[in-house]
Amino acid sequence: MEKYLLQSYLDDGWRAHPEKPALVDEHGTMTYGRLYDDANRIARCLASGGVKRQDRVVICMKRSSRVVLALLGILKADAIYVPVDAKAPVERQVKIIADCQPAALICEEPMLRNMAGLDGLKSHLQALRIVLVLGPKSDIDKALVPPCIYWDDLRDLTAEPPLYHNIDADAAYILYTSGSTGVPKGVVVSHLNVANYIEWAVECFRIEAQDRILGTAPFHFDMSTFDVFATLKAGGTLFIVSERLLLFPAKLLDTIEREGITLWKGVSSLLMYLSSTGSLKEDRIPSLKRVLFGGEVLPTRHLMDWMRTYPSKRFYNVYGPTEATGISAYHQVEVAPATADEMIPIGRACTNTEIYILTDGDRPAAAGETGELCIRGSGLSLGYWNDEEKTARAFVRNPLGSTQQDRIYRTGDLARTREDGVIEYLGRKDFQVKHMGYRIEIFEIEKAILAQEYVHQAAVLLCKSLPEEVSELVAFIEAPGAVDPDAVWQALGRLLPSYMLPKRILTLDRIPLNDRGKTDRPALQDYYQALLHETKGGSE
């Protein structure tokens, strides 16, 4: 069954080219041979510490090649890896660890020292069977955690590969996302889910052994699945961008040039930033051939900038929720959009994937009719860890199917199909709000604002006002200079009906993003509430 497991991509790469660079980060290069040997040692270590098949192992580390090494070692131990954002608030870390009940933890010494000093995590750390520290030995208080095994201790273990007992239906990883309530929910993804995705992606995007892929996605974000496993499947090289470099996105172009990057699957906000800061130059990044963007809608104006500057590169808009593993639909943008208000489609379903657009009555929507985007196929994850109720609500029996085992995932996204069968994304179902008696699509307002040349990014929310007032539409705009609200209203008035016009327009230096590179709407709500209270306090 080994060929059906994700770690087999590394095993094949090791056999084919053990001396070839597999991973590159700010600390150096890791060859396929070293990655293979050290992943085997980690697997042996975990097994000797009592980690069994399908146990959960949490990874809490800074971005580096060692994260990939850790996750591959966990897979080789027949376990499930659970990446946790090392920068996340301790409350979120506690919730995730309490939910998945890990048997082991792999971390770096500074992370362990920080976690061991937090009351909320002490009891969970003491319940672990083993803690593997990828770093030098330290004087950390062993009373707070189980005996630690340090990286130097692994050198005494054999690098012989362990026997695999998992099958492709077994879970490979759990990624925690924040639901609408802010409570983390763990999406359980199997080896089959990922293999189905990666086999298609490598063929579709023609990824080969000579490709050098840029990794900018956090490892607790599903975009990293592509970075890691597409690279290993193709036998290519993955360059992992450091957290420090991600703080200065404009320097990414230097990295692409220096490292000879040929392919980048980036979150839309990074592409938008590079465009809006004037970083794109015709004589730059000649090695880059393919750009995949997704995670959130890329304003058309910024894609026009990229395609005008680099007409010979190939651009793909990709779409897919975590619950469907990776990319569910994609669209190659062959010709630059003519105007900033032109919609960029998400295209068509990937191979071995089917997409339905269903109306509220579960009737297939006609061409041009809005409905909920639903997905079926081998990419559908196993559901939510430890939450049968949420799983049953989101992963339902296919209303168009003929068997009870036929499932679809209800994404909560609104979409429509053009006459030619191409799918257009229209926004979130929960961003469809009822205001002043009208049903309003927030996405339509944001699209109209982003069509204005002076706007870099925008977000529109139906914000709760003070208790004695009604809710109101508020537009948050990121622009390089001063913005005249009257001019914005006049421009929007030519595109939207009056009931869709924001009551307030606020200019920000930067639209806040969450750790996945998407607009942080809860942060904007908090900002607006604080602004209201400050204004009210000043008037009193």
Give the model confidence (pLDDT) of 392-426 as tens digits.
999 999 999 888 889 999 999 999 999 999 999 99
Residues 303 and 406 in one domain: yes
The pLDDT, as a whole number, for residue 144 is 58
Nearest to 60 by CA among 43, 76, 80, 82: 82
Q: Are 310 and 160 in contact (CB under 8 A)?
A: no
* Most confidently predicted of 91-100, 141-150, 359-368, 477-486: 359-368
The pLDDT, as a whole number, for residue 141 is 54
Residues 393 and 448 in one domain: no
Residue 466: which pLDDT band, with cuts at 50, 70 and 90? low
Residues 303 and 353 in one domain: yes
Nearest to 147 by CA among 158, 159, 137: 137
Residue 441: which pLDDT band, with cuts at 50, 70 and 90? confident
Residues 376 and 446 in one domain: no
The pLDDT, as a whole number, for residue 179 is 53
CA atoms within 13 A on the CB side of 15: 7
Interatomic CA distance for residues 271 and 285, integer angstroms? 14
147, 171, 188 - which closes a domain: 188
CB neighbourhood size of 85 (10 A) = 17
User: Does residue 295 lie within any of the structural domains?
Assistant: yes
Alpha-carbon distance values, 82 to 85, 247, 382 (Å) = 10, 25, 15
Residue 451: which pLDDT band, with cuts at 50, 70 and 90? confident
Residues 278 and 371 in one domain: yes
User: Does residue 197 lie within any of the structural domains?
Assistant: no
408, 427, 446 - which closes a domain: 427
Give the global pTM: 0.86
239 pLDDT above the threshold of 90:
yes
The pLDDT, as a whole number, for residue 470 is 63
498 pLDDT above the threshold of 50:
yes
Beta bridge partners of 462: 473
What DSSP string describes 359-400?
-TTSPBPPTT--EEEEEEETT---EETT-HHHHHHHEEE-TT
Residues 345 and 477 in one domain: no
The pLDDT, as a whole number, for residue 112 is 81
Distance of CA 351 to the CA centre of its chain: 21
Average pLDDT over residues 351-368: 96
Angle at 8 between CA 5 and CA 12, to 5 degrees: 160
180 pLDDT above the threshold of 60:
no
CB neighbourhood size of 98 (10 A) = 14
User: Does residue 177 lie within any of the structural domains?
Assistant: yes
Q: What is the mean pLDDT of the chain?
A: 90
Residues 289 and 409 in one domain: yes
Q: Which of 24-28, 254-258, 289-293, 339-343 has the lowest mean pLDDT?
A: 339-343
User: Does residue 96 lie within any of the structural domains?
Assistant: yes
Q: What is the CATH number of the domain that holds 490?
A: 3.30.300.30
Alpha helices in 3-108 (DSSP H): 7-16, 32-48, 65-76, 90-100
Distance of CA 392 to the CA centre of its chain: 23
User: Does residue 140 lie within any of the structural domains?
Assistant: yes
Nearest to 451 by CA among 301, 235, 285: 301
Q: Are 309 and 282 in contact (CB under 8 A)?
A: yes
Q: What is the CATH number of the domain that holds 145?
A: 3.40.50.980
368 pLDDT above the threshold of 50:
yes
Q: Are 511 and 500 in contact (CB under 8 A)?
A: no
Q: What is the DSSP letter of 299?
A: P
Beta bridge partners of 188: 174, 383
Encoded tokens for 366: 């006609």
Residues 390 and 257 in one domain: yes
**439-442, Cβ contacts within 8 angstroms, sequence gap of 24 or more:** 440/473, 440/499, 440/500, 441/414
Average pLDDT over residues 341-366: 95
Q: What is the DSSP letter of 430?
A: G
User: Does residue 97 lie within any of the structural domains?
Assistant: yes
* Most confidently predicted of 199-203, 271-275, 451-455: 199-203
Interatomic CA distance for residues 65 and 25, integer angstroms? 6
The pLDDT, as a whole number, for residue 515 is 72
User: Does residue 137 lie within any of the structural domains?
Assistant: yes
Give the model confidence (pLDDT) of 279-320 as tens digits.
999 999 999 999 999 988 898 999 999 999 999 999 999 999
Strands lying side by side in the sheet with 56-60: 148-150, 130-133, 104-107, 56-60, 80-83, 171-178, 184-190, 383-384
The C-alpha R_g of the chain, in whole angstroms, comes to 24
Residues 264 and 404 in one domain: yes
121 pLDDT above the threshold of 60:
yes
Interatomic CA distance for residues 75 and 225, integer angstroms? 14
Number of domains in the chain: 3
Give me the percent of the chain exceeding a pLDDT of 70. 94
User: Does residue 519 lie within any of the structural domains?
Assistant: yes
Residues 180 and 74 in one domain: yes
Residues 443 and 392 in one domain: no
Q: Are 80 and 171 in contact (CB under 8 A)?
A: yes
Residues 415 and 466 in one domain: no
Alpha-carbon distance values, 109 to 35, 38, 61, 379 (Å) = 21, 18, 9, 36
Domain coverage including residue 172: 31-188
The pLDDT, as a whole number, for residue 530 is 84
Give the model confidence (pLDDT) of 44-87 as tens digits.
999 999 999 999 999 999 999 999 999 999 999 999 999 999 88
Give 467-507 as a 3 state SS string.
CCCCCEEEEEEECCCCCCHHHHHHHHHCCCCHHHCCCEEEE
